[in-house]
Amino acid sequence: MAKEALIVIDVQNDFCPGGALAVAGGDEIVPIVNRLIQQSAHVILTQDWHPAGHSSFASSHPGRAPFATVTMPYGEQTLWPDHCVQGSPGAEFHPDLEWTTAELVVRKGFRAEIDSYSAFFENDHRTPTGLAGYLRERDISKVSLCGLATDFCVAFSALDAVAQGFLTSVVLGACRGIDLNGSLAAMTERMRDAGVKLI
Is 122 a binding residue for ligand VGL by CB under 6 A? The answer is no
79 to 108, contacts with ligand VGL by CB under 6 A?
A: 80
Is residue 27 flagged as an active site residue? no
d(CA 48, CA 15): 10
State the catalytic residue, choosing from 16, 84, 146, 153: 153
Is 29 a binding residue for ligand VGL by CB under 6 A? The answer is no
d(CA 38, CA 137): 23
Is residue 139 flagged as an active site residue? no
Nearer to ligand VGL, 26 or 36 (CB): 26
d(CA 70, CA 57): 11
Contacts of 193 (CB under 8 A, 6+ apart): none
CB of 108 to Zn ion, least distance (A): 8
138 to 157, contacts with ligand VGL by CB under 6 A?
A: 148-149, 152-153
Exposure string for 127-148, b = 16+ CB within 10 A, e = fewer? eebebbeebeeeebebbbbbbb
- Of the candidates 166, 17, 170, 156, the one whose C-alpha atom is nearest the C-alpha of residue 77 is 156
Q: To which H or E segment does residue 131 belong?
A: helix 131-137
Is 122 a binding residue for Zn ion by CB under 5 A? The answer is no
Nearer to ligand VGL, 17 or 165 (CB): 17
Is residue 153 flagged as an active site residue? yes
List active site positions.
10, 108, 153
Which residues here bind ligand VGL, judged by CB under 6 A? Answer: 10, 15, 48, 80, 117, 148-149, 152-153
